Amino acid sequence: MPRLVMKFGGTSVGTLDRIRRAAKRVGVEVAKGYEVIVIVSAMSGKTNELVGWVEETAPLFDAREYDAVVSSGENVTAGLMALTLQEMDVPARSWQGWQVPLRTTSAHSSARIVDIPTDNLDAKFAEGMKVAVVAGFQGISDEGRITTLGRGGSDTTAVAFAAAFNAERCDIYTDVDGVYTTDPRISSKARKLDRIAFEEMLELASLGAKVLQTRSVELAMRYNVKLRVLSSFGEQSDDAGTLVCDEEDIVESNVVSGVAYSRDEAKMTLISVADQPGIAAAIFGPLSEAGVNVDMIVQNISEEGRTDMTFSCPVSEVKRAEKAMMEAKEAGAIDFQELVADTDVCKISVVGIGMRSHAGVASKMFKALSSEGINIKVITTSEIKISVLIDRKYMELAVQALHDAFELEKAA
């Protein structure tokens, strides 16, 4: 029988009524002849509550016990979903990560999936089970300890199961009805996309769009798992939502598919750094060791053996970056006059696979920002993306201006 993976996020299972609504959606797919693997998140707000309890109990907590506690939210949802399906006369049972087993690395709270053997679920499907309700976000390490995959890990769980069980599709149910050309809260002209390529979705996810977790898109692209993003609260149909698929499955698309933004960015500049071989490694090595997630990097033209080095990072990591740089300077690893941090910037990006074969995208982007009096501080580009740092106060204006400039409200 064909298989389908259906993942329900926290808002989709936030109450018993919502669990019943989600279960009815599962029942519709079972009636179509699918064997269904349902991946569930914890009920909305539950994971934050559990994390709070851990931090209040033990500020310097044991990461293994942290995982044992925070993974319990998904177990509750899985059991309730299985019970609801049973009440609907749908043969279902719940599975915790260790029962599958979903095998992971031992990096607690940020484990990565190693393997998902299919034998246990296959055997139960052969016995007549129609729905396997699996607790997302969790697995088991070689040491036999419960592990978690990091925030948003249930998306990754769903895609991994779709790949392991050769599912026809992986449906991600959430509180939005698909992927939009930009945030509808900022631009009233934002348009829902019927299809988007893996590469575009990966860029949008990494650039601030919170529809899908980045790792889940990476997995889907690697194993060519068709993803569909759709709402738990809209009508159920085969063409609902947005399909995330291979570029070859998209007949026509706009040059630019979407505008993404990241509000909490910081620009850091090391002024008057010695311009010599190895200086970049001397700067970014300590930043990496300090856990600073560096994004955009620009080196100015050097004069008289000195240069300025600018990079961006999340605002929350500025203090760590400053500490790492000062320690490296005190140790004699690098020499600079001053470290300047600008924490009042944001990152705006345009993304589209059509940029590979069309010139003039950067020119149009810069002209649109200039016409609104928006100054660009840093620019980076890739094959299908252009990102800029600008003053945060212009963020919404920039998103609207770029959405209009590329006429994203119009379909290709």
The mean pLDDT value of the chain amounts to: 92
pLDDT of residue 324: 95
- The domain spans of the chain are 3-175, 259-405
pLDDT of residue 175: 82
The continuous run of DSSP H or E covering 283 comes out as helix 279-289
Domain 259-405: top CATH class: alpha beta
Q: Say whether pLDDT at 185 is over 80.
A: yes
pLDDT of residue 343: 95
Q: Say whether pLDDT at 170 is over 90.
A: yes
pLDDT of residue 67: 96
Interatomic CA distance for residues 106 and 148, integer angstroms: 9
Tokens of 359: 């010139």
CATH number of 3-175: 3.40.1160.10
pLDDT of residue 3: 97
Q: What is the mean pLDDT of residues 323-349?
A: 93
Q: What is the mean pLDDT of residues 295-313?
A: 86
Q: How far is CA 235 from the centre of its chain?
A: 25
pLDDT of residue 204: 85
pLDDT of residue 236: 75
What are 107-126's pLDDT values in tens digits?
999 999 999 999 999 999 99
Q: Say whether pLDDT at 208 is over 70.
A: no
The whole model's pTM is what? Answer: 0.83
Q: Best-predicted range by mean pLDDT among 171-180, 183-192, 370-379? A: 370-379
In Å, what is the CA distance from 29 to each residue of 6, 78, 141? 10, 18, 33
pLDDT of residue 209: 66
pLDDT category at 152 given cuts 50, 70, 90 is confident
